[in-house]
Structure 1
Amino acid sequence: MKMSDSQRIEAPREKVWAALNDAEVLKACIPGCEELTKHSDTEMEAKVTLKVGPVKAKFGGKVTLEDLNPPESYKIVGEGSGGVAGFAKGGAVVRLEDDGPDATILHYDVDAKIGGKIAQLGARLIDSTSKRLAGEFFATFSETVAPSATDEAAGEAPAEGSQDAESGDEKKGWLGGLFGGKKDAETEESA
């Protein structure tokens, strides 16, 4: 199985690199990850439960990082076993590229071999599941590394009585400016 893609992440390259090397961040972002232990800067061990079509299995595996070129690239090499369900082994080359001062393009090229019951399910099912899992990983990873502006704004509410001309009155229009803050917000919510 081969898969290549790239994702834009709204965070500087150094922050993305740090997150890609943080076991807690990776554990939270990898779909089905139950355990992720970092033994050294280049070796990790994981336990992941995945469902591919009708087959659900627990995989245990080891991952090694090679060809480290911080904060630009590395190669991930790993293999995992899911008992009767099968095995997977292979690698991925991950490369980070600046996209302006506050964004990063993460490129990845995966080459993996799969065997056992999972391999018998067929290439289309495996490919679609792999793409779905990659999509879930990157959605969670992006949200973890670069929370959306609305999440950040919710955490930074202005003090009571203060007015924020940019986010307050402009969003409500000229009518909101005339009648003030809270009352219009309540009216908009009930409408």
Structure 2
Amino acid sequence: MQMSDTRTIEADKATVWAALLSPEVLKECVPGATEVTGSAEDGFEAVVTQKVGPVKATFRGAVTVSNVVDQTSLTLTGEGKGGAAGFAKGAADVRLNEADGVTTLSYDVEAKVGGKLAQLGSRIVDGFAKKMADQFFTRLEEVIEGPKEGDDAPEVEKKSWLKRIIS
């Protein structure tokens, strides 16, 4: 399964780059993540619980960062095992471009599943993978930009831990 999309984030490229490489931000943005540890240099370890159709599983896996062109592009590659539910593998090529303090983030994602997950059928799995990617990048945008006008959340510039990361 493959997909591509583009997001516009109201922040400079350095801020978006720092967020993409932060385990705290990744934990906040990956749907179902209960744990994300490690670093961009050594790779990240993650625990993610998800329900795909009738199958609910906790995946334990690793994410590596490669093809790094500082503040311009990178590839995130992950693989997780969910016990009897099967496995999930994926890679995302991410590119950043900045104009007037606004960053355009473009990504191409490829995902594969096996085991019980693969038996669910491509329509369910593909829909789920698209939803996960959309949720991740939407949440990344929200974490970096802070609440939008009209949100019920109180006005906050950025979460304090994100400020520490990018300062």
Structure 1-normalised TM-score?
0.75
Letter in 1 for 2:127: S
Q: 1:118 aligned to 2:117?
A: yes
Measured after TM superposition, the shift of residue 131 of structure 1 is: 1.6
Contact 1:42 1:66 in 2 (8 A): no
Q: 1:109 aligned to 2:97?
A: no
Residue 8 of structure 2: aligned partner: 8
After superposition, the Cα gap between the structure-2 partners of 1:155 and 1:104, relative to the gap in structure 1 and judged at 3 Å, is closer
CA distance in 1, matches of 2:154, 2:101: 18
Residue 129 of structure 1: aligned partner: 128
Which of the pair has more CA radius of gyration?
1
Measured after TM superposition, the shift of residue 42 of structure 1 is: 4.1
Greater fraction helix: 1
Deviations 1:57-114 (A, max 9, x none): 000001111111110001112211001101012322111111x222111111112221
Percent of aligned positions with the same letter in both sequences?
48
* SS of residue in 1 equivalent to 2:95: strand
Q: Which runs of 5+ in 2 are unaligned?
A: 158-167
| Superposition CA RMSD, Å | 2.0
CA distance in 2, matches of 1:133, 1:78: 14
* SS of residue in 2 equivalent to 1:31: coil
Residue 181 of structure 1: aligned partner: none
Residue 28 of structure 1: aligned partner: 28
Measured after TM superposition, the shift of residue 137 of structure 1 is: 1.5
* SS of residue in 1 equivalent to 2:14: helix
Residue 43 of structure 1: aligned partner: 43
Deviations 1:36-60 (A, max 9, x none): 0115524110000011111110000
Q: Which has the higher contact order (CA 8 A, sep 6+)?
A: 2
CA distance in 2, matches of 1:40, 1:135: 22
Query: Which aligned pairs between 1:1-191 and structure 2 lie closer than 5 A?
Result: 1-39=1-39, 41-98=41-98, 100-148=99-147, 150=149, 154-155=155-156
CA distance in 2, matches of 1:63, 1:95: 18
After superposition, the Cα gap between the structure-2 partners of 1:155 and 1:64, relative to the gap in structure 1 and judged at 3 Å, is closer
Deviations 1:162-190 (A, max 9, x none): xxxxxxxxxxxxxxxxxxxxxxxxxxxxx
Greater fraction strand: 2
How many residues get paired? 155
Residue 166 of structure 1: aligned partner: none
Q: Which runs of 5+ in 1 are unaligned?
A: 157-191
